[in-house]
Amino acid sequence: MKLIEFRNVSKRFGRQVVLDRISLQVNEGESLVIIGASGSGKSVMLKHMVGLLCPDSGEVSFDGHRIDQLSERELDELRINFGFLFQQGALFDSMSVEENVAFPLVEHTKKPPQEISRLVDEKLRMVGLPHVRKKMPAELSGGQRKRVALARAIAMSPRAILYDEPTTGLDPIRSDVINELILKLKHELNVTSVVVTHDMHSAFKVADRIVMLHEAHIIFDGTADELRSSDNPVIQRFVSGRAGDEELAGLRE
């Protein structure tokens, strides 16, 4: 069953076309990875899924209902279905870890403080950080910040978790911890995951399905094995991390 759907979605910023008549379905329970070069519109796609951006044309739907025409208040209700992990975590730096994770629970539920505290403990244990609840975000490492942000993203038990470059800026070990966490959350919470990344190791590890964006279009939609065996030179260069003549032209002048 499809949970998120794009129908002919186009988006431009100024004169730059970022998405050009993109159509895509994300099925319930699946892990979709969106890959593509920096600036190819991956994060823009992710932001359309939660209504942070509106398409210039086309339709975006969640669970069969169009969301691209909703008001900000209607979107607030819809967004409770999503967890969103931002590239740098986007933790509220004036709040402690505990307050950050409790934030959506305090805002959207009438649970008593003891219950909220128990849930905060539970979520922090799920991301492997039960001992940091009194710390401030500035006291955490980059990897810890992302894991706390993930604990906050799952606080409301969302139906879908959207990850915006979850391993960017982390060393390979910390990156692998995040990848394992994505898999763990998928299996334990049975959530739909959409991961935006250009880290191919991460993509191959967590993906049920991979979509590649290039020059505002989807140029690949399939499994990790199909991606590896693709004979499209753009895909091959991206997967193997080799710059082409076009990218290197500037260095040779």
Residue by residue, DSSP assigns 151-185 as HHHTTT--SEEEEESTTTT--HHHHHHHHHHHHHH
Cβ-based nearer residue to another protein, 73 or 252: 73
Which residue carries 């319930």 as its tokens?
28
Containing 220, the helix (H) or strand (E) segment is: strand 217-222
Smallest gap from residue 246 Cβ to another protein (A)? 27
Q: Binding residues for another protein, per CB under 8 A?
A: 47, 50, 52, 72-73, 75-80, 82, 84, 86-88, 90-93, 103-104, 106-108, 152, 156
Smallest gap from residue 86 Cβ to another protein (A)? 5
Cβ-based nearer residue to another protein, 194 or 218: 194
Smallest gap from residue 194 Cβ to another protein (A)? 13
Smallest gap from residue 232 Cβ to another protein (A)? 33
β-bridge mates for residue 27, sequence order: 2
Please report, for residues 2, 182, 230, the alpha-carbon distance to residue 197 in angstroms, rounded to integers and kept in the order given: 22, 13, 19
Cβ-based nearer residue to another protein, 91 or 218: 91
Q: What sign has the CA pseudo-torsion 27, 61, 106, 165? A: positive
Cβ-based nearer residue to another protein, 108 or 174: 108
